[in-house]
Amino acid sequence: MLSYGYWKSAFGGSPDAVGRTIRLNGLPFIIIGVAERGFSGPTPGRHYDLWLPLSARPRLSQRWTPKDDDAGSWWLVIVGRRKPGVSAKQTEAAVSLLFRNETLHGEKPFFAPADEPGINAVPAQEGLEGGRTRVLQPLYILMLAVALVLLIACANIAGLLLARAAGRSREIAVRLVLGAKRARLVSQLLVESFLLSFMGGALGLLLALWSARGLMVLANNDGAFTPHLDWRVLAFTAATAILTGLFFSLIPAFRSLRVDLTPALKAGAGTSAATASGTKWYSLGNILVVAQVSLAVVALVTAGLLVRTLSNLKNVTIGFDTNNVLIFGLEPSLAGYKGPQVDTLNRDLQEQFAALPGVQSVSYSAVALLTGSEIGTDIHLPGTPENERPGCDYMPVGPRFFQTMVIPLREGSDFTAADFAAAAARSARALNAPSDPAAAPASVIVNETFVRVFFPHTNPLGRHIEEILPDDPKNPRGPGWEIIGVAGDTKYDSLRRKIVPIMYMANAGNAFFAVRTAGDPLQLVPAIRDMVNRKDSNLAMFRIATESQQIDNQVSVEQLIARLATFFGLLALVLACIGLYGLLSYEVTRRTREIGIRMAIGAQRSNVIRLVVVQGIVLAAVGAVVGISASLGVNRLLKTALYGVTPGDPVTLAFCAGVLLVVALAACYLPARRATKVDPLVALRYE
């Protein structure tokens, strides 16, 4: 069964694909159908090109052993759909009963009654977690940023509506005197707010339809997740826009009705009242501005921490040269190669790739560096208790690996032809064959961290490392490893993971090739692919990318989140400063008569500017202090998403506060400059 995407890419969407025979790992399979569009598997984040009968797995896998067919080998995932009317507890009880009977009283019991074996039946969304955890935290961060911007926008609208309501006090008073009911006036004001929310929500949905596709391309570059705008997303967005708009307009609407009719109907009375109230620092307008500024600081600090995390990840020391290196994988065992044949093929291809024009060096390894994959093992150090089994990573590598990846060899020597011959001999042994205690230990090169952890004050060269004792006491301990060299420290599977002890050994199996070139390595892909096909048409190259692209993939989520968080942080800053500008502009308008009197009795322009700017800067400073305090608590939730920076990083906090105050100063200056242009003669006749 083909997936829809693979059917379109490999067969051009032709209906004739159904019924055709394809070969997988040399075995023939008949295409019986194509899955519906949009379905890539039940597990989020895992994309499959095709599905096969479960019974075909032993024939396809070269690593399949009889032990894998044992009922005690726990690898099968079972998904079931409950019948209508059957509860989850009933399902769990029925399944647990079957499991208990089979594992206690079956042909080969696995448990004792005291073990109380059972099954926990969980919802598919919880059990088939897949890659959901990898993207949940970034999505939470984005939702936090969006919520902050929404709250700032709502507070901004509430402040504007308050100013508008104050300006309409005379109108409201006239309506009330003429007999209008307060409930009718509230409904009118709410309808006006509803129209604003509706138009804003409609414009936002249009922008979302226009920009969401590009955003999803950025967020979903591996095709693992397929989000799309549907009626649920649109309905949620529309409801949020309308409800928040109405909710934040309630206070201005009710406040506008708290008007004293007699003073409001008198000409000029509004000015004096406004002037008196304008001196109150705890007014609702000031509180809304402080709230906007504090929320903007939280958004800015969050964005700053994420940007610094991205910068730290990109500048982390990885220990090898990533420039002009092409990485791709080959699995000759899937094409029928066995034991030493795989090693011979790898060595032949290595020499042929090295002969291509523009190639400087070629090597290979069991896994490629910084691709998210690693191999680990437990070891035992001679002279330590048997139950002490420290873990370390290991990486089988090919000839000239350290030269190709430009990893310095600090001490000792590189692998020799004899080391690779011994590795090929070991690969010819059966998977479950017992170890030969008489065999010579395998040569390994360890990294500097390995030496610091396990041999801090001794010369590591020539030291023996033992394998742990097998679970079966009848089997002897393996020959272990002998250190022949020390290499420089490098990152292995992840940029975030700290460098751990690593053992390098000679590789004789499937491998990822690393080709270092003088120019763009991607230009050599056609020539390399042609060379592989001429060697054996059944060999397939996979995961073709440059080392730089592999590293970019490591930080792709961080890069996306940092960009979006920065956008939302700057948007929050702009909205907060618009709110501050609007408040001060309104204050200047309300205090026109006061400013005219001040200028008439000798106030200088600098005094007027200071009068307005100080108010704005004080509000911005209070908001910055509140925002920094709030960000210390909120950003602790981002602790696992950060790298090389802490939630309370003083540099980030100081920088964001400084940016806010500078922008706030610009927002304050414009109303202050307008206040200085007040003509005292006109102001004294105001209203």
Decide if 75 is inside a domain. no
Decide if 548 is inside a domain. no
Looking at residue 217, what is its pLDDT?
A: 59
Looking at residue 273, what is its pLDDT?
A: 40
- With cut-offs at 50, 70 and 90, classify the pLDDT of residue 412: very high
Looking at the fold, whether 369 and 506 belong to one and the same domain comes out as yes
Looking at the fold, whether 120 and 141 belong to one and the same domain comes out as no
Domain that holds residue 107: 90-130
Query: Is 80 exceeded by the pLDDT of residue 679?
Result: no
Query: Is 70 exceeded by the pLDDT of residue 226?
Result: no
Looking at the fold, whether 396 and 471 belong to one and the same domain comes out as yes
Alpha helices in 555-604 (DSSP H): 556-590, 592-600
* CB neighbour class for 96 (10 Å; exposed up to 12, middle 13-18, buried from 19): middle
Looking at residue 406, what is its pLDDT?
A: 96
Which residue type is seen at 353? Answer: F
Which of 476, 504, 539 is a domain's end point?
A: 539
Looking at the fold, whether 297 and 417 belong to one and the same domain comes out as no
Looking at the fold, whether 585 and 509 belong to one and the same domain comes out as no
| pLDDT (average), residues 606-624 | 86
Q: What is the pLDDT of residues 529-543, one digit of tens each?
A: 999 999 998 888 999
Looking at residue 502, what is its pLDDT?
A: 96
Which residue type is seen at 451? Answer: V
For the chain, the domain total comes to 4
Looking at residue 265, what is its pLDDT?
A: 60
Looking at the fold, whether 63 and 99 belong to one and the same domain comes out as no
The structure's pTM equals: 0.76
Looking at the fold, whether 607 and 463 belong to one and the same domain comes out as no
Mark 512-530 as b/e (b = at least 16 C-beta within 10 Å). bbbbbbeeebeebbeebee
Q: What is the pLDDT of residues 43-95, one digit of tens each?
A: 776 778 899 998 888 887 766 777 777 776 778 888 889 999 999 899 999 99
Decide if 81 is inside a domain. no
Which of residues 354 and 685 earns the better pLDDT score? 354
| pLDDT (average), residues 597-626 | 84
Chain Cα centroid distance, residue 518: 33
Name the nearest CA neighbour of 274 among 253, 289, 259, 288. Answer: 259
* CB neighbour class for 170 (10 Å; exposed up to 12, middle 13-18, buried from 19): middle
Q: What is the pLDDT of residues 369-394, one digit of tens each?
A: 998 888 999 999 998 998 888 999 99
Which of residues 407 and 191 earns the better pLDDT score? 407
Looking at residue 235, what is its pLDDT?
A: 83
DSSP 71-135: TT---------PPTT--HHHHHHHHHHHHHHHHHHSSS----GGG--------HHHH--TTHHHH
Decide if 534 is inside a domain. yes
Contact (Cβ atoms closer than 8 angstroms) between residue 226 and residue 163: no
Decide if 48 is inside a domain. yes
Looking at the fold, whether 386 and 489 belong to one and the same domain comes out as yes
Decide if 148 is inside a domain. yes
Looking at residue 211, what is its pLDDT?
A: 73
- With cut-offs at 50, 70 and 90, classify the pLDDT of residue 105: confident
Q: What is the pLDDT of residues 242-291, one digit of tens each?
A: 787 777 777 777 766 666 666 656 644 444 444 444 445 567 778 888 88
Looking at the fold, whether 259 and 394 belong to one and the same domain comes out as no
Which of residues 96 and 224 earns the better pLDDT score? 96
Looking at the fold, whether 356 and 297 belong to one and the same domain comes out as no
Looking at the fold, whether 286 and 196 belong to one and the same domain comes out as yes
Looking at the fold, whether 48 and 116 belong to one and the same domain comes out as no
Q: Is the dihedral of CA 281, 284, 287, 293 positive or negative?
A: negative
Decide if 78 is inside a domain. no
Q: What is the mean pLDDT of the chain?
A: 84
Which of 130, 152, 183 is a domain's end point?
A: 130
| pLDDT (average), residues 98-119 | 86
Decide if 609 is inside a domain. yes
- Residue located via tokens 């791709």: 328
Query: Is 80 exceeded by the pLDDT of residue 121?
Result: yes
